[in-house]
Amino acid sequence: METISENRCFGGVQGVYTHGSEACGCPMTFGLFLPEEAQDGPVPVLWYLSGLTCTHENAMVKAGAQGWAAEQGIALVFPDTSPRGEGVADDESYDLGMGAGFYVNATESPWAPHYRMWDYVAEELPTLLGEAFALDMERQAITGHSMGGHGALTLAMGLPGRFRSVSGFAPIAHPTASDWGRKQLRAYLGEDEGKWRRHDATLMMREHGFDGPMLIDTGTDDQFIDLLQPEALAQAVAERRQQAVMRLQPGYDHSYFFVSSFMEDHVAFHAEALYAR
């Protein structure tokens, strides 16, 4: 692992690191904020998964999360959204290929050799973080924005017992029924829609649910709300009687102005679960 940068931030350190990824078959870069408490021992972890077109950097510099995480003594992990580099398959459109990994393990050509973002986020990067930094990997929570909200929800429900809480900012909530989903799931996983189900938060909610608290925020003026389908997830939550708070925020769009406006709420929400006995 190589250190790209480390900057003093709210009493802690905001770092950027790169390493060779066995899962993705290429170098991968991630951001990690360690609060001041990490100098004295392991701290709980909040994962932030970013959306389409993003890298590790977008949320790291735009979401305003570090100050709230420092206040709660929580580490923040900012993974990249896809493999990158020479020899990694890509597409001309913004919503497929680099920057659009959708947090799945691709099985189809030309994506299969590198696009294994589920394994990267679920297995490889947590192992690396636990070995290299003062992190309490027994206390993890996860959040994300848009495509990253989709990833946060499906990882939380697909890895029972891993995360104490889950939240999402304008998550893609029902990708098997949306143009933000069907295109990518078909490209990465093939025509068998049965293989798509574990990557759809609405279907996962109906079939599995989440053993813990959930918080979802979506703006009423989100320009992509018809693609996100928050109402489908809300119906599944109600049918399952899942512990959840789902909010429509009046006047907010899909941007990081929206994300940063409610970041304090989300960090505090996760802190309550991470510090619960």
Q: 80, 200, 217, 222: which is the annotated catalytic residue?
A: 222
Task: Respond yes or no: is residue 211 known to be catalytic.
Answer: no
Residue 5 designated active-site? no
Take residue 158 and report the two structure tokens written for it: 């697909």
Active site residue 146: yes
Give the span between the Cα atoms of 81 and 103, in whole angstroms: 7
DSSP 107-147: -STTTTTT-BHHHIIIIIHHHHHHHHS-EEEEEEEEEEBTH
Neighbour tally for 237: CB within 10 Å = 23
Catalytic-role residue among 21, 50, 82, 146:
146
Neighbours of 145 (CB within 10 A): 30
For residue 222, the SS3 value is coil
Q: Point out the residues that are catalytic.
A: 146, 222, 254
